[in-house]
A = this chain, B = another copy of it.
C-alpha cells in the first residue's frame, strides 16, 4: 500500500476552533459501533473490553503498551527488542532508505541488511515520539477565550494552546502538542519523549514490500513483506528501553483477539448526514470525473511510445489508486444500509440534544445550519470547479500573477487564504522560482479540464466563452499553451515585478484568460470560504455536543495521536467465496506464477533462490477487524499477552467506507505476520542476527 495508511493531514487537528462547553455529561458505557474502536489511552473502554472479550488489562499493561509504541513522521511504529529495535512499514521508511543509499546503489530496489550494529546507517531527520503523559487542558484553553468575535476567539485559543505547548516543551527532552478531540469538545496535552538518532537496520526490496503494486493496493488476499527495521540510538549506543513489545514467533491465528496500537490520521465519523450527502453527491462525483479524465489523458500520452509509457505509468497508477480509494469511500455513502445506521444515530442524537434545554440552545441549530450551507455550496459547485485556474500548471501561475498585485492591495483580513500573512510572500517566491513544465501533459490535462467544463457548464458560461472562444477543447488548449510564455522564469519575473500595470498590459493568452475570469473566480472563492467557515463552526458545536452527551464512551475522530483498537483475526466473505484470514509463502509464489512473474507481481531474485529453504506454508499476511486508517501504517498488532503478532500495512477495499462509518462485516485491516517476518529474515535475508534479537535470543 502506497499512500493509504500514511497520515496526510496531521496538522489539521490543531486548526479547529474551540467553543465554550464544559466537561462531559455522562453517557459512559454507550457503545455505538459506527464510531469504531480508536480508543485513547486516557479513556480505555475497560467495561466494554471486559464484557466483549473477558479482558481486563492492568494499568501497567496499558502503560507498557503505550510506551512500546512510537510515532514516526506520517506513520506508526513499535519498539520490539531490548536494544531499541523499531519495526515499521517499508513505505514509512522510504525517506531513510533512499537517503542512506550510496550513490552507486539503491537500497529501495535492492534492499538492505546491516550485518552488525556498526553497519546500521543513520536516517537523516527521522524521529520517533514516545508518549509520556496525557493531561486534560480543556479548562485552561477555554478559560483563555473571552473575546466576543470569532476571529478574536480563535486567536485567543491558538495563543493559549501555544503557551501550554511552549511551557511543556521547556521541560528537558519533552516534545509537546495540544490535541483537540471531538472537534474541540476536549483538549489534551500530549507530552512526548522524542528520539532523534534512528538508524536503518534492515529493509527488503520494494518489489516484495509493495508486492502486487497498485493493483493489489487496498486489497486482500495479499503477499507483502512491508516491513523495515530501524534502531533507536541514544548517546551513540542502542537504546535499552524500559518497555518493548515481546515478539511472537508464531503470529496470530484465526479467532485471536488482538489490539492495534498506532496513530490513525483522520476520519470523518462526526460528519453530519448533510455533509456526507454533499461528499456523496457533489464532491466525490466531481473528483471521480476528474480522475477519470486525467487517467484517460495520461493513457493517451503513455500510448505514444515506450519512453512515454515509462514516464507516465506512475501518474496513471497513482491516479488509479486515488480513484480506487475515492470510489471506496463513496461506496459506503452509497450503501443504504450503512447510511441508515448513520441516519438512525443522528436522529437519536438530535433528539437527545433537543430534549435537554441547555444543549438545545447551544447546539440545536447546528445540523440545519450545516445543511443550509452545504445546499448553497452545491448550487455553485460547478462554477467553483471550472471558473478558475485549474487543469494546467501554467494557467495556475497565470492566476497567481493576476491575483498577486490585487490581493497585496487588500487588508490582510480581506484576502484569499493563500495570500494572508506570509502566504503572499510564498506565492510570490513560487512565481519567481524556476519551474519544470511538462508541455505534453499540460496539453492533455488542460484539454481534459476544458472538456469537463464544456460537459458541466452551459454554453453561455463566461469561463467557457473566454477559454474556448468557439474552439474545441483540444484546439483551445493547443492555442492557449502554444501562445503562452509563462514557462519562462524571466517572463514571470517581469510580470511580478511590473505589478498591476504589467499584468494589465500583457497579451499572453493565459494571462488574458486569467484576467478575464479572475473577478468571478475570486467571488466564488470568497463565497465558498464563508460557507465552509459556517460549516466548520457548526461542526465544532456538534463535536462538542457529542462529547457533552456521550463523554469518552464514543472514541473521538482520528487525530494522528496514539489509539488502541480492539479486534479479531478473521477471514471474510469475498466474491462468492471465503477469503482466508491469512496468506502464505505459497500464495506469494502462486501470484507470481499466475502473472508469469511480470511486474508488479515479480518476486525478487533473492526470494527465488531461497525457495527451497522456505516453509511455504508459513503465514505472510493476515487480516483482523481492528479499526485503522491512514497514519496507522507501521502499527503493531499485539495479543492479550502484549506480544506483537503482526504489523499493520493496509486495509482491504471493503474497509474504505470505514472512513465515515465503521463496520466489520467484511472490512479488514491487513498485517504482515511476525511468523512470516522471521521466516524471511532467517531464510531469505540471512539476517539471523535480527531474528535472534527479535526472539530475545541475543
Which B residues touch A616, using CB under 8 A? 589, 593
* A582, CB-defined interface residue at 8 Å: yes
Question: Does any Cβ of B come within 8 Å of A509's Cβ?
Answer: no
A594 — which chain B residues lie within 8 A by C-beta? 221, 580, 582-584, 586-587
Q: Mark out the residues of chain A between 591 and 605 whose CB falls within 8 Å of any chain B CB in the assembled complex.
A: 591, 593-595
Give A120 to B501 CA distance when docked, in angstroms. 98
A576-B653 in contact (CB<8A): yes
Assembled-state Cα–Cα distance A411/B543 (Å): 77
Q: Identify the stretch in A212-220, A477-485, A637-645 within 8 Å (CB) of chain B at 4 or more residues.
A: A212-220
Rounded to whole angstroms, the CA-CA distance of A611 and B593 in the bound complex is 16
A216 near B577: Cβ-Cβ < 8 Å: yes
Task: Say whether A219 contacts B593, CB under 8 Å.
Answer: no
Residues of B contacting A590 with CB < 8 Å?
583-584, 586-587, 589-590
- With A584-B594, A587-B587, A594-B582 in contact, is A653–B617 under 8 Å at CB? no
Does A575 lie at the interface of the complex (its beta carbon under 8 Å from any beta carbon of B)? yes
Which residue of the partner chain B has the closest CB to A324? B576
Contacting B at CB under 8 A, from A546-605, are: 574-578, 580, 582-584, 586-587, 589-591, 593-595
Could you name 28 residue pairs across A and B whose Cβ atoms are closer than 8 Å? A212-B577, A215-B577, A215-B578, A216-B577, A218-B576, A219-B575, A219-B577, A324-B576, A328-B576, A574-B575, A575-B575, A580-B594, A582-B594, A583-B590, A583-B594, A584-B593, A584-B594, A586-B586, A586-B587, A586-B589, A586-B593, A586-B594, A587-B590, A587-B593, A587-B594, A589-B590, A589-B616, A593-B617
* CB–CB A219/B576 < 8 A: yes
Least CB distance from A211 to B in Å reads: 12
Q: Which of A399-444 contact B (CB under 8 A)?
A: none
> What is the bound-complex CA distance between A220 and B163, given in angstroms?
60
A209-232: CB near B (< 8 Å → 1, else 0) gives 000100110110100000000000
CA distance A167 to B580 in the complex (A): 59
Query: How many monomers of this chain does the complex have?
Result: 2
What 1/0 mask marks residues of chain A from 46 to 77 whose CB sits below 8 Å from any chain B CB? 00000000000000000000000000000000
Which B residues touch A216, using CB under 8 A? 577
Interface centre among A324, A575, A593, A595 (most CB of B within 10 A): A593
Residues of A within 8 A of B (CB): 212, 215-216, 218-219, 221, 324, 328, 574-578, 580, 582-584, 586-587, 589-591, 593-595, 616-617, 652-653
Of all chain B residues, the one with the shortest Cβ separation from A214 is B577
Instruction: List, in ascending order, chain B residues with CB within 8 A of A580's CB.
Output: 591, 594-595
Contacts of A617 in B (CB 8 A): 593
Within the assembled complex, what's the spacing in Å between the Cα atoms of A591 and B590?
Answer: 10
The distance from the CB of A251 to the nearest CB of chain B, in whole angstroms, is 13
Q: How far is the CA of A591 from the CA of B594 in the complex (A)?
A: 14
Bound Cα distance from A593 to B618, whole angstroms? 8
Closest B residue by C-beta to A617: B593
With the chains together, A324 CA to B573 CA distance in Å? 12
Please, which residues of chain B bring their CB within 8 A of the CB of A591? 580, 587
Q: Nearest Cβ distance between residue A651 and chain B, in whole angstroms? A: 11
Q: How far is the CA of A653 from the CA of B594 in the complex (A)?
A: 20
Question: How far in angstroms is the closest Cβ of chain B from A408?
Answer: 48
Contacts of A218 in B (CB 8 A): 576
CB distance from A52 to the nearest CB of B (A): 23
Report the Cα distance A98→B576, complex, angstroms: 30
Give the residues in chain B near A653, CB-CB below 8 Å.
Answer: 575-576
State the CA gap A216–B580 with chains docked (Å): 12
A218 and B575 alpha carbons, distance in the complex (Å): 10
CB distance from A584 to the nearest CB of B (A): 4
A574 nearest in chain B by CB position: B575
A601 and chain B: residue at smallest CB distance: B580
CB-CB nearest 7 A-B residue pairs: A576-B653, A586-B590, A587-B590, A580-B594, A593-B617, A584-B593, A219-B576
Chain B residues lying within 8 Å of A324, measured Cβ to Cβ, are 576
A593 surroundings in chain B (CB, below 8 A): 584, 586-587, 616-617
Closest chain B residue, CB of each to CB of A582: B594
What CA separation (Å) do A562 and B354 show in the bound complex? 70
How far in angstroms is the closest Cβ of chain B from A286? 22
Closest Cβ of chain B to A570, distance in Å, is 13
Extra contacts besides A219-B575, A219-B576, A221-B594 (9): CB < 8 Å: A216-B577, A218-B576, A576-B653, A580-B591, A583-B594, A586-B587, A587-B594, A589-B590, A589-B616
Q: How far is the CA of A652 from the CA of B328 in the complex (A)?
A: 23
Complex Cα gap A653–B573 (Å): 13
Residues of B within 8 A of A212 (CB): 577
Q: How far is the CB of A601 from chain B (nearest CB, A)?
A: 8
A323 CB → nearest B CB, Å: 11
* Contact residues in B for A574 (Cβ distance below 8 Å): 575
* Complexed CA–CA distance, A590 and B614 (Å): 13
The chain B residue sitting closest to A656, CB to CB, is B576
Contacts of A328 in B (CB 8 A): 576
Give the chain B neighbours of A652 by CB distance below 8 A: 576
Q: In the complex, what's the smallest C-beta–C-beta distance from A216 to chain B, in angstroms?
A: 5
